[in-house]
Amino acid sequence: MIQSEVRDTTTADVVAELRRRPAFVMVSHVKPDGDTLGAGLALGLALRGLGKRVHYFQQDPVPRNLRFLADSELVSRQVPSDLPADTLWVFCDMSDTSRAGEFLPPIEHRNILDIDHHLANARFGAYNYVLETECSTGTCVLKLLDAMNVPVTPPIATALLTTIMTDTGGFMHSNTTASVLRTSAWLMERGADKEKITDWIFANKRLAAVGLLGEALSMARVGEDGKYCWSVVDDAMLRRHGADGEDTEEIIGHLRSIEGVDVAALFKAFEGDVRVSLRSNGRVNVQAVAQRLGGGGHFRASGFTFEGSLDDAFVAARDALRAEGL
């Protein structure tokens, strides 16, 4: 992780850098979702419209359900060797640079812009545009585009609405405020394709994913007090259904929807470690739970990676939940 002194940056200062710099690299976090990718693509599309040179860095491939976004075909883990010395690296939706993965090249601190809405953001950039009350990183980007008087084209609007729909769970989470709905309507008026977003992200499921979901739900267990629920996915289950890691994304939402459950946990035992996803109905801060175990995220959605056995991961998660009052 790149260390820096804490500095919050005004909208005007960020806009000045966006106008001044000739080239940009938009950086998405590992295991990308619609917010990290959509925010970077929206800003990249806008800057390209201003004649700027833009590249998109992402360690992992673009998920199948996000390949409809404009410019997503340009995303790569490779970075050109001829970038100008004052290229600005824009990190979207991550608390620190480690979330970008192990293939991130060395970057001078003066060339880092951090755009985020996480409470636990480390302010790791020379410029830190962190708006903790925003529902998504994409709406932070929208504020910048508004200040720059950049036209919001249909592809940009679609990318930004994708960030909102991803981080509000399709407008179902408690961060879906009246302001969020007004912003979403404004984006639709500018050509955001809500139907396409809904189809690709929420409705277009592979048969392998549905089969995996069924097996994972059949293995679900609830704690003695009924307040938490968990299930497991491992490599053998993936092979049985011809599934992959992307096909696990919907499972935890179904676990959390069980009546009486405050927190759901999905233990994914892949390739020698255990990745644990946590979801809350809003009564328990799962970000605090994850931080106890070296992870992070949001109040309602977080996770951590555990180096050890599945049984030990379960005990660690249970103890952390109890420490947070569950």
The CATH number linked to 105 is: 3.90.1640.10
- Domain check: are 215 and 196 in the same one? no
Residues 6+ apart with CB under 8 A from 163: 34, 35, 38, 39, 42, 136, 137, 138, 139, 141
Q: How many other C-beta atoms can be found within 10 angstroms of the C-beta atom of residue 206?
A: 16
**34 falls within a domain:** yes
| Residue 34 φ/ψ region, left for φ over 0, alpha for ψ in the -120 to 50 degree band, beta for the rest | alpha
In contact, 263 and 231? CB cutoff 8 Å: no
Region 202-221 average pLDDT: 95
Lowest-confidence pick of 200-204, 305-309, 322-326: 322-326
The pLDDT assigned to 233 comes to 97
**88 falls within a domain:** yes
- Domain check: are 36 and 141 in the same one? yes
**255 falls within a domain:** yes
- Domain check: are 137 and 228 in the same one? no
Domain that holds residue 109: 11-202
Question: How buried is residue 78: exposed, middle or buried, by Cβ count under 10 Å (0-12/13-18/19+)?
Answer: exposed
- Tokens standing for residue 58: 């992402």
* pLDDT band of 313, cuts 50, 70, 90: very high
The pLDDT assigned to 3 comes to 45
Return the residue matching tokens 């690299």: 25
Region 54-65 average pLDDT: 97
Query: CA-to-CA distance for 276 and 302, rounded, in angstroms?
Result: 9
Domain end residue (candidates: 202, 226, 248): 202
Q: What is the CATH number of the domain that holds 246?
A: 3.10.310.30
The pLDDT assigned to 325 comes to 81
pTM metric for this prediction: 0.89
**5 falls within a domain:** no
SS3 content of the chain, % helix, strand, coil (to 5): 40, 20, 40
Check whether 1 has a pLDDT greater than 70: no
Phi/psi for 231 (5° steps) reads -150, 180
Domain count, the chain: 2
Domain end residue (candidates: 179, 202, 225): 202
Residues 6+ apart with CB under 8 A from 241: 208, 209, 211, 212, 215, 247
Domain end residue (candidates: 202, 230, 257): 202
- Domain check: are 125 and 58 in the same one? yes
* pLDDT band of 114, cuts 50, 70, 90: very high
Which of 213-222, 268-277, 283-292 shows the highest mean pLDDT? 213-222
- Domain check: are 192 and 300 in the same one? no
For the chain, what percent of residues have pLDDT higher than 90? Answer: 85
Average pLDDT over the chain, rounded to an integer:
94
The pLDDT assigned to 37 comes to 99
Looking at this protein, which amino acid is placed at residue 27?
Answer: V
- Domain check: are 184 and 67 in the same one? yes
**1 falls within a domain:** no
- Per-residue pLDDT tens for 224-259? 788 999 999 999 999 999 999 999 999 999 999 999
- Domain check: are 179 and 254 in the same one? no
- Domain check: are 221 and 96 in the same one? no
- Domain check: are 261 and 276 in the same one? yes
Check whether 4 has a pLDDT greater than 60: no
The pLDDT assigned to 119 comes to 83
**6 falls within a domain:** no
- Tokens standing for residue 294: 């070296």
* pLDDT band of 173, cuts 50, 70, 90: confident
- Domain check: are 33 and 70 in the same one? yes
- Does 2 or 90 have the greater pLDDT score? 90
- Domain check: are 139 and 50 in the same one? yes
- Domain check: are 119 and 198 in the same one? yes
**2 falls within a domain:** no
- Per-residue pLDDT tens for 262-282? 999 999 998 778 999 999 988
**309 falls within a domain:** yes
C-alpha pair distances (Å), 255 with each of 97, 247, 281: 31, 15, 11
Check whether 319 has a pLDDT greater than 50: yes
The pLDDT assigned to 282 comes to 84
